[in-house]
Structure 1
Amino acid sequence: MNRRVLVAGGGIGGLACALSLGRAGVPVTVLEQAESFGEVGAGVQLGPNAVRVLSQWGLTDALQSCAAFPDALRVRDAGGGGLLGQLRLGPVALARYGQPYATVHRADLHAMLLGAVRARTPAELVLGARLQGMAPSASGVSVALEDGQALMGDALVGCDGVWSRVRAALLGDAPAAPTGHLAYRGLVPTRDLPPALRTPVVTAWLGPRLHVVHYPVRRGEAFNVVVVVQAAMREAALGPVDPRGWYHEAGHAELRALLGAAHADLLGMIEAVPQWSLWALHDRAPMAGPGEHASGRVALLGDAAHPMRPYLAQGAAMALEDAWTLGKLVDRHQHPIDWPGVFERYAALRWRRNARVQAQSRRNGSVFHATGLVRWGRNSAMALLRERLLDNPWLYGGPPKPEPQP
């Protein structure tokens, strides 16, 4: 190996990529545009597929120390409060899939990956490194930074999120599109909740043109709360939201007005959150082919390749799966590594699964926010099919293992 692999982005996807490649013996340089490592946002749901990846990286104990492991996923009606459906998690998920279902604060997951990268890999971590452009060639990839530095690597992996500069340079396509949905996010200490709301479960409240999800994080010491509404509901009264920024002035009165005549338990959870942030959600159409994942010596990972709506709770999981797959494809005995070949196999293995998750996430959003007859049909289907409608064996049994090279 003549040079390092360059990884653009030091978020969850970038650190997962650095860890996976580092475990395979590949030197990596992570280029993070911020001046310090950290994560914005709040909670992340990790299905058994994502927990399986972390386990194979030797992070089971680290996850146990910071995550919560809910007993169930419950779906309730936002207005009347009735139980629409339930999926058992906890020991049932462990028995069914060999791994549990976890919920974790995003900053804790990021810190866990950062610690593993620093302790277990030859990675170099560079802060304040904002990518300006890149130029791939037959022998490597040249990267220019905004401060005038130029770096050369054997390959480049774009892990720089929904507004990826690597993707823009590689594919030249349009930016991610607004979904028409807004997400209010908050975190509340469990001790500040009424006793009835401290149950260690993932709860999804479904209402017309909106839904709310809350679940425990930090070993159950806090609850992450997310309220997703259609943008038109808010914009009619308060105006548009900065599409690329966090809005920090959302208040309880605003949310109560949007939720309308919601159930008392739901309103109690909303009232308990001390501070809200607001984010406009963006995504892309489901991937149409492997060319959206990689070309030559440049690959895309996580949101840079397949930004998705949060209605299947798989955004972080797919980034972890991408990274795990990439590491599995590296032949540590091959010198130099054939990066175009590795990336070609990676793209072929990942794009269909990521496209399916993107498509299912979009469908779930329509179902969650349904009105009229569609809402009635949704509720009837949940009552009839029960856990079969909420479980996803094709998803939770992953990630698919790469076949050995002939």
Structure 2
Amino acid sequence: MRKQLLVAGGGIGGLAAALGASHAGWQVRLYERATAFSEVGAGVQLGPHGVRCLQDWGLEQPLQAVVSLPDRLQVRSALTGRELAALPLGRTAAERYGAAYATIHRADLHDLLLTALTRCTGARLQLGQAVEDFTDTDGAVTLRTNQGEAWQGDALIGADGLWSHTRVRLLGAAPPRVTGHLAYRALVPQSALPDALRTGHVSVWLGPRLHAVQYPVRRGELQNLVLIVQGPAPQDLENWDHAANAAGLEQALQGCCRALQDLVHSVSAAGGPGWRLWPLCDRPPVRSADEMARGLVGLLGDAAHPMPPYLAQGAGMALEDARALQRALGMHALDVPQRLRRYALSRWQRNARVQARSIRNGRIFHATGPLRRGRDLALRLLGERLLDMPWLYRGDGP
């Protein structure tokens, strides 16, 4: 009889975990709090390591139908608009790392995983049910949902995001910590922008106490814009997310170059939903394998290692987690706790390194004074050597 995995969470991490487990020969039952699958519009950067995970699941063709493949990454000063450094992507990245560097609409990545899961596996999807509690006894895990239902399986994976109930129950974890940074996000049709503001590559603008990122998604039809500024967060962090007033963002950009300000103004001029605003939270880097799996219960993605977006690795690490989980669940000579232990041992150090680098990048991106000037000089002198990250793009070792 095939073993059964229970998965909490229907976001990218949960769907990837379910898909990986299905490929390992497990039956899967997935629980999602929402009554319908959906993803808020935003962009995702996928390095070659993340793209390879999707290729390993046979998703290269549907992926190619929806992604953009930027030709370069450039870093610019938010104050002067001057290019500080650049890294070729496109064919160069594919030849160097065996897969492309891709940018994708979050909803497209979510739909790609959901379609693969529903069409190619026997996974059962339980909508409108969130995992509230579980017990791990007598070689089985039993979960209880917010609908009062109870289900039993051979293992449970918590992929229920930053505010994971599974994590709290497993680790007794404190709430995520507030970073003091706010992320403004927008998606704009490129056809609605002047030619000078359209883009086929990834641009990162660095300024004092702020930075911005722009890149194409959905075959280049849309441009994803993210601006992160330092500022106070609201009290109700878990439930707070709303259409943001662009006036606050425009005020934060006073003193930035005209090119960046024109880009921000273009969002309102293009019509559409405009800016949305999120407070950013994270957790300290993972300290041991015990923080990713104990007994019959494991954590994956943001439930295990939430990180600020300064390395653009939230989705990439969740996909890598799912592939590592697949390999571990397929170790049929081991009992289930040992398999989850192997999963955690294979992932915690790499995730911790990416978390630490993301936090460090946040300080560098938002630097002021002498640190900012030193950063800009280093980028001008070293350029590609600073921007390329073989340790990250080559695979999921520590």
Query: TM-score, normalised to structure 1's length?
Result: 0.94
Give the Cα–Cα distance (whole angstroms) in 1 for the partners of residues 7 and 389 of structure 2: 31
- Which of 262, 271, 277 is the equivalent residue of 1:268? 262
Q: Contact 2:132 / 2:146 at 8 angstroms: preserved in 1?
A: yes
1:198 offset after TM fit, Å?
Answer: 1.5
Paired position in structure 1 for 2:327: 328
Partners of 1:268 and 1:186 in 2: how far apart? 14
Contact 1:242 1:280 in 2 (8 A): no
Partner of 1:182: 182
| Contact 2:307 2:314 (8 Å CA) reproduced | yes
Identical counterparts, % of pairs: 53
Deviation sequence 1:168-196 (CA, Å, 0-9, x none): 00000201111111101110000111112
Match of 2:148 in 1: 148
Q: What per-residue deviation string (whole Å, max 9, x for no partner) do you get for residues 43-95 of structure 1?
A: 00000000011111111111111110101111111111000111110011011
Give yes or no for contact 2:51–2:100 (8 Å, CA) kept in 1. Answer: yes
Whole-Å Cα distance in 1 between the matches of residues 298 and 374 of structure 2? Answer: 42
Asked if 1:256 is matched to 2:250, the reply is yes
Q: Give 1:306-321 correspondences, 5 Å limit.
A: 306-321=305-320
Deviation for aligned residue 1:248: 2.7
One-letter amino acid of the structure 2 residue matched with residue 289 of structure 1: S
2:356 corresponds to which residue? 359
One-letter code of the match for 2:17?
C
Letter in 1 for 2:265: E
**2-side partners of 1:123 and 1:256: how far apart?**
46
CA distance 1:198–1:14, change in 2 (3 Å):
same
Q: Does structure 2 retain, via aligned residues, the 8 Å contact 1:176–1:284?
A: yes
Q: In structure 2, the residue corresponding to 1:21 is in which secondary structure?
A: helix
- What SS does the aligned partner of 1:178 have? strand
Report matched runs for 1:200-349 at 5 Å. Answer: 200-232=200-232, 240=234, 242-273=236-267, 274=271, 275-331=274-330, 338-349=335-346
- Name the amino acid aligned to 1:320: L
Change (3 A) 1:71 1:374: same
The count of aligned residue pairs is 393
Shift of 1:399: 2.2
Q: CA deviation at 1:250?
A: 1.7
Extract unaligned runs of 5+ from structure 2: none
What is the distance in 1 between the residues matched to 2:20 and 2:241?
34
Q: What is aligned with 1:399?
A: 396
- Residue 241 of structure 1 contacts residue 247 of structure 1 at CA under 8 Å; is this kept in 2? no
> Retained in 2: the 8 A contact 1:23–1:120?
no
SS in 2 for 1:225: strand
Partner of 1:66, secondary structure, is coil
Where 2:307 maps in the other structure, the secondary structure is coil
Question: C-alpha separation between the residues in 1 aligned to 2:320 and 2:132?
Answer: 28
Counterparts of 1:56-205 in structure 2 under 5 Å? 56-205=56-205
Which residue identity is paired with 1:255?
L
Letter paired with 2:29: T
Equivalent position amino acid for 1:180 in 2? G
Question: CA offsets per residue over residues 295-341 of structure 1, 9 Å max, x none?
Answer: 0100000000000010000000000000001101233755xx62101
1:215 match: secondary structure:
strand
Shift of 1:2: 5.7
In structure 1, how many angstroms separate the alpha carbons of the residues matched to 2:371 and 2:68?
Answer: 34
> What's the offset of the Cα at 1:119?
1.2
Q: Partner residue of 1:404?
A: none
Give secondary structure in 1 for the equivalent of 2:238: coil
The alpha carbon displacement at 1:246 in A equals 4.5
The equivalent residue for 2:365 is: 368
Deviation at 1:241, TM superposition (A): 6.4
1:141-183: CA deviations, max 9, x gaps?
Answer: 0101121111101100000000000000000020111111110
Residue type of the alignment partner of 2:190: T
SS of structure 1 residue aligned to 2:199:
coil
- The TM-score normalised by the length of structure 2 is 0.96
- Alignment partners' CA distance in 2, 1:58 and 1:136: 34
Unaligned ranges ≥5, structure 1 = 402-406
SS across alignment from 1:104: strand
SS of 2:81 mapped into structure 1: coil
Distance 1:241 1:212, change over 3 A: farther
